[in-house]
Structure 1
């Protein structure tokens, strides 16, 4: 264990709650202290509405922070601005200061032109929860200021028709999300023309959340919005709020479709922050008993453990830590990647807080409290722990948020829905179940602990994944590296084409619109004409209204292109859950064991995009086996490293699930293999791939018999480490390796984006190939296992059952690549 500074303060007291038994020796790998940040005050702008300033002062904001003043001045002057500062730094203040002041200033003039085109503001957030939270805060601010002539409301898919009519006619500030814009507001823009005609500000909150395919979709929705505003005579200023991220101005400009010089970045954070302690935590060795409570909760956890040193699942460990913190009455958030994981952690923690339950080796609460210097208290009841995720009713989410703020609820196990700017202050600790995908997300989650200048503790509990294992051994990759720039590609034709159709349905497209959508010419539009989606009349392109579908239905902003497959209980007809169409063949094929909310079902039928299941508890789990082929369609760029050549370009992936294995619990030993007859799936996307001369492999000590396993293991490890380089998740990407590829005629390893057309991840890997290979080699070399494990070269999503794999061979291949990498 490494400590960087002397332990002291309340964060250490909270940490001591967790360091029971052998945990300090076995689990605490690294401890990092983030120093406090002093406050730097700004001034209230001279143009700011005096009543609003009085309202802020009445709520304790005597002066704004310097970054708030700077951002507000840019927005008021009409320049797009992106505010990229830490969690809890008050990024909404510049937006509301400018928006409310503009609305009230126009009303005071009394001019007919101002009344007819009174300034309006459109606020966009990634989640309904955040929009509702922002509305609540804005209404409290207006009430404190005594302002009754500024009307604000939320409008989203849950909003009734009467409320939408009121918003169209009267609202000065509309809080919504990109999905509502795409499916409702923009297609019906004539009904919203009062809002669009007066549009003064567009506020894009938590814009760092728009990455990958969703980022490309949102960028195109924003360009459609600005196009319609321009049509109605408005030139709105964009105010973007982001977590601390790399290249915030470039990200904002790409979202808006404007030159980067048109966006002012504000990155110097003037808000105070208390000292934060971040612990890197490795789950202990498994004892074969505790993990049964969460068996099947996560795909990764069902194969947790290595042949050499199996460890407890991440979910079980986080649930234990959460229950310990609740016993010590520490207010805590536990972040987990999946909805099911949130439910599992909350349920497991509640189980451990049941009367009479005591973990082996745990201390009594009274003893822990006495050592921490706090008042002893009886163990809290089960009702102080809850889960928080998408799919809950809005009123349920609001109640949970309020109970956590008030202290009535001590702990929430949450998806990243609470990573974003929902205002919850005063938390003692944050637990993070596995690497959250990016440093941006990590610091957003860490920032939830000890907000409002107080100290806080964050614990990153590593999962059994190559990237998590790498980060445990290389904490400098977290704490000494800058945060990532957000990766997305609005020019992806698979994303761009349906948005061009939607834009043509809103207003006919002209050559003037080509630049707004990043088109060099009208070739893509003419292709859409040839496919019968658009019609061309003179200099304009129109949506083909003879088609049965609407143009908005051609795409889903959340990145999905496949149908959603419902999982239906055969006996009752109840929908147990849903599976993305792209994963359905592997997850709900006939004979598969499907797990939901801790219950297991056997799939009896999968046809017509519906899976029928019966409730069973068999002593085994299933894992699909698949075949995959890659065809190179074109090379965009390439570079030679001696006998190794790197490429980036377009490929076609043809895949098919060919069978499945039954594996006995708990060790997942193979029972038998069974064939399946399922159709092929075709994906055209972007890939990065490298080829190596066979002679160079032989010279390095990799013979023909070991080559397939060496390349396969190197491919798995590379996929696991790409999220360190690109803002992606391992489930966003795929790969293939072969000792002799039909297009390259050489040993080849492909890593590709798992979305049609690509999402920018493979291109980022190509641009940072040296860093990517070095991190991959270090992860494999430093793993203590003998033959390969989930922490280095095994993959939870391998269609070939992780066979063949050669950890030794992967190390040799990666060393070969690095030996020829440019310095």
Structure 2
């Protein structure tokens, strides 16, 4: 806890006083130092909301000479862009890549990772007029930013071009024939380039380098899919062959760029299937960062409020919106990261209202940015931010990655972003020009957020997480092998390329009738290609259309549609509210009309869960810890309308939407009724005790794995038919699992210890959103028993091994899953369960409930 004494309040949009005057020469208000700005922000509150301030000191940079092989033309081009010499880590990574060694450079935000791969790739293009380079980014915005950077070097005959879903068809043929530096994303590589590999044969034959940017984002099921897309790319490159320098191995050299992450070489190796060397020492200069942990205050109790009700904190969304308005009024260029699309819209709209109340028209300097906007809207928002026309932007993590947002002064992070890697990526958006920066993490009323703002040691001075992905996931492997067979018949050598479990997956595809085995290999039997979604969005996107005009407002993914655009749902777009009239899942269209209701909508569903198989277990006396496959069935059955001002439930309305089935991986623990009775948990209190422990365990698992609570689900029951004991399940919200439950099993002691501490240290008496209540609970957070949840976890921790991994049985090797590969439904890959469960918490494919 810091002890800065608050300063007198400065003008604020909320008190109607005039903000600071702008410099007439630049149009910008002089920006206060981060520490001064933070004190001003703190001063507006009656109680200090800051629980900790971390000072990340500035750091000088260390340069290295240009490599001898770097042509003078390229050095001069970088010099024109202000780069007179590379940082040492850039030169080290570039040397490895130019020598044909696969390399991952894993350094901090704004450390110049782009030059580390641009230097060897562009040098090769200049030396060999036939060579080509492929660049992969997880988002279109990042690819467009990199295109601007490469084009600005003005190198002759490189001809960089973006090839993605926004590329006009008239340009695509020119790119295939003439571009030597193609920038795209894994989705376009999967859906367009690899299926049309014959048209790309010339490009693939001459491919020397493949750049995989921001590779730490390829985690879970998405990362597992991308791993196989890269193997399919390697397979096609080997098929067409390419002329190589005598000193280089055959096939393209992979250069990966990542935020700092745990064990980047191993992760990059699993992603590419190749041995990868890691460069991790960051030698770039860094401006100082003042990083504050901010806990919104408790709301005053209403006069008629029942005394026993849990205290409620101010919404993190409202707190972030007010902070965004304050910083913009100060002339501070600010980016606010919000967990959800709807949340980004709410923050931007609220900040605009506050600013306009103070200075009419000032609200126009704030906007929202998220996926689902049309291409023209996204590009104009990016240009407006770079020009300085916008001072504040509320964005989803679409702007977390390496888009070069020069000149930002502050970053607001609304809610824990899921991983320490994402936290530092988002914080690093400010101060990119080397200046001092302010970063503020605004805690949601959530167990993990509350734990972190009161345990800063869990954030600062600790290594970031290792990225979790599982290429052996049969729900990923089988569909990807089907895609590969549709591109060219599979051979025994290909099975080795795709790794463990490939032989079993191919056999199951043959048995299901998807492949036919012949002496020359395995052939795809159908006319249509397999329909596989890399991002697990559960089918084609649903278009959101204004019924009266036919105007396309945006899109939502198929999995989210049940929650975001069900009939009666409130849908936000650029601050304008719409109400959904109808949802046609077959045609992928939701019709809406403009309306400003005083209520919000919250979808609810019900689930059932059964154990399919057990992979591993630990017998700890009265406690059992298990890892295995489970079958989850869910259906959205209703939605609540709640007053925006008070959160009061107006009514619950029924819905008729199809059921969904999910085979996934879960971790679960059982506790004997006798041990609970000895601990003081009465039989009637067992459901509430387990329910509260389940909520908190889901909330704290992201502390151990690269996931967030929307990636995982849970269920608790006093007696489950498959275990015949009180049981708490936590499972991955992706078919076949995503590696999160396995991580929970390995770290069960540490995970459940943090869960127990988060509940016990919360200041409430009976349970609140900061410890055991969940915004996703379909049971309305009833029953819950905070004291008994602590007793349950005490029993579990007293019997489980005390340290991570100690005495736990070894997990089976990847691919050894104790069950058949689900090859018959190749279109099911990426299907994702989601929603607010009536019997427990499960992941929401939509993200409208994330955040405050």
Which residue matches 2:20? none
Q: Is the 8 A contact 1:280 1:472 kept in 2?
A: yes
Q: Does residue 560 of the first structure (1) align with residue 541 of the second (2)?
A: no
- In the alignment, what sits opposite 2:292? 279
In structure 2, how many angstroms separate the alpha carbons of the residues matched to 1:404 and 1:584?
30
1:520 and 1:495, CA in 2 relative to 1: closer, same or farther beyond 3 A?
closer
Counterpart position of 1:92: 114
TM-aligned CA distance change 1:130 to 1:688, over 3 Å? same
The superposition leaves residues 131-168 of structure 1 with CA deviations (integer Å, 9 ceiling, x where unpaired) of: 11111111112x2xxx3132211111121233222222
Matched, 1:269 2:243: no
Contact 2:566 2:580 in 1 (8 A): no
- Please give the secondary structure, in 1, of the residue aligned with 2:661: strand
Matches within 5 A, 1:674-753: 679-753=658-732
- TM-score normalised according to structure 2 size: 0.85
Deviation of 1:673 after TM superposition, in Å, equals 5.5
What whole-Å deviation, never above 9, does each CA across 1:426-459 have from its counterpart, x for those lacking one? Answer: 2211111111111101000111121232211001
Q: CA deviation at 1:312?
A: 2.0
CA distance in 1, matches of 2:603, 2:387: 46
Query: How far does residue 556 in structure 1 lie from its aligned partner after superposition?
Result: 0.8
Pairing partner for 1:202 from 187, 191, 210: 210
Superposition deviation, residue 505 in structure 1: 1.2
Describe the shift of the 1:70–1:657 C-alpha distance in structure 2 as closer, same or farther (beyond 3 A): same
Structure 1 stretch 412-421 or stretch 278-287: which is displaced more? 278-287
Aligned to 2:51: 29
Aligned counterpart in structure 2 of residue 253 of structure 1, from 269, 276, 279: 269
Is the contact between residue 489 and residue 522 of structure 2 (CA under 8 Å) also seen in structure 1?
yes
CA-to-aligned-CA distance 1:240-278 (integer Å, 9 cap, x gap): 0001111111111111012xxx21100000100011110
SS at match of 2:177: helix
Give the Cα separation in 2 of the matches to 1:617 and 1:404: 28
- Is the 1:306–1:789 Cα contact (8 Å) retained in structure 2? no
SS in 1 for 2:497: coil
Structure 1 residues not aligned, in runs of 5+: 108-117, 290-304, 358-378
Tell me how far 1:779 sits from its aligned partner.
1.2
Distance verdict in 2 for CA 1:662–1:736, change over 3 Å: same
Residue 163 in structure 1 maps to residue 171 in structure 2: yes
Q: Which residue of structure 2 aligns with residue 296 of structure 1?
A: none
**What is the CA distance between 1:183 and its match in structure 2?**
0.9
Contact 1:656–1:680 (8 Å) recurs in 2: yes
Q: Is the 8 A contact 1:602 1:616 kept in 2?
A: no
Distance 1:678 1:201, change over 3 A: closer
Cα deviation digits, residues 717-737 of structure 1 (max 9, x gap): 111111111111211111111
Structure 1 residues 4 and 101: alpha-carbon distance in aligned structure 2, compared to 1, 3 A threshold: farther
Distance change in 2, residues 1:804/1:583 (3 Å) = farther
Residue deviations 1:691-725, cap 9 Å, x none?
11111111001111000110011111111111111
Q: Does 2:334 correspond to 1:332?
A: yes
Q: Distance in 2 between matches of 1:323 and 1:523?
A: 57
* Alignment partners' CA distance in 2, 1:77 and 1:747: 58
Q: Distance in 2 between matches of 1:184 and 1:789?
A: 49
d(CA) in 2 for partners of 1:29, 1:540: 62
The residue aligned with 1:137 is: 149
**Superposition pairs of residues 533-572 of structure 1, within 5 angstroms:** 533-545=514-526, 547=527, 549-551=528-530, 554-562=531-539, 564-565=541-542
Measure, in 2, the Cα distance between the counterparts of 1:429 and 1:517. Answer: 44
By how many angstroms is 1:484 displaced? 0.7
1: CA distance, partners of 2:505 / 2:618? 29
CA contact (8 A) 2:420 2:465 kept: yes
Give, in angstroms, the shift of residue 582 of structure 1.
Answer: 4.0
Corresponding residue for 2:438? Answer: 457
1:125 matched residue in structure 2: 137
Deviations 1:65-108 (A, max 9, x none): 0100100011011110000011111111121211121122224x
Higher normalized helix content (fraction of residues)? 1
Residues 1:129 and 1:577: Cα distance change in structure 2 (over 3 Å)? closer
**Is the Cα–Cα contact under 8 Å of residues 4 and 31 in structure 1 kept in the other structure?**
no
Distance 1:570-1:724 versus aligned 2 partners, 3 A rule: same
Give distance in 2, aligned partners of 1:431 and 1:778.
27
Q: Are the equivalent residues in 1 in contact too, given 2:6–2:42 (CA < 8 A)?
A: no
Cα offset, 1:26, TM superposition: 2.8
Work out the number of aligned pairs and report it: 765
Q: Distance in 2 between matches of 1:625 and 1:412?
A: 31
2:34 is matched with which residue? 11
1:767 aligns with 2:743: no
Q: In structure 1, what is the Cα distance between the partners aligned to 2:159 and 2:288?
A: 39
Whole-Å Cα distance in 1 between the matches of residues 540 and 785 of structure 2? 37
Q: Is the 8 A contact 1:326 1:411 kept in 2?
A: yes
CA contact (8 A) 2:475 2:735 kept: yes
Q: Find 2:63's aligned residue among 28, 41, 48.
A: 41
3-state SS of 2:37 partner: helix
Q: Secondary structure at the match of 2:738?
A: coil
Uncovered stretches (5+) of structure 2, i.e. residues with no partner = 8-30, 243-250, 803-852
**RMSD of aligned Cα (Å):** 2.8
Query: What is the Cα deviation at residue 664 of structure 1?
Result: 5.6
Distance (Å, rounded) in 2 between the aligned partners of 1:615 and 1:62:
54
1:244 counterpart residue number = 260
Q: Does the CA-based 8 Å contact 2:578-2:592 persist in structure 1?
A: no
- What is the CA–CA distance in structure 2 between the aligned matches of 1:605 and 1:69, rounded to whole Å? 54
- Which residue of 1 is the match for residue 811 of structure 2? none
Kept in 1, the 8 Å contact 2:477–2:502? The answer is no
* Distance (Å, rounded) in 2 between the aligned partners of 1:607 and 1:101: 49
Matches within 5 A, 1:370-381: 381=362
Tell me the TM-score normalized by structure 1: 0.87
Q: In the superposition, relative to structure 1, how do residues 629 and 140 fare at CA in structure 2: closer, same or farther (>3 Å)?
A: same
- For the pair 1:232 / 2:240, whether they are aligned, the reply is yes
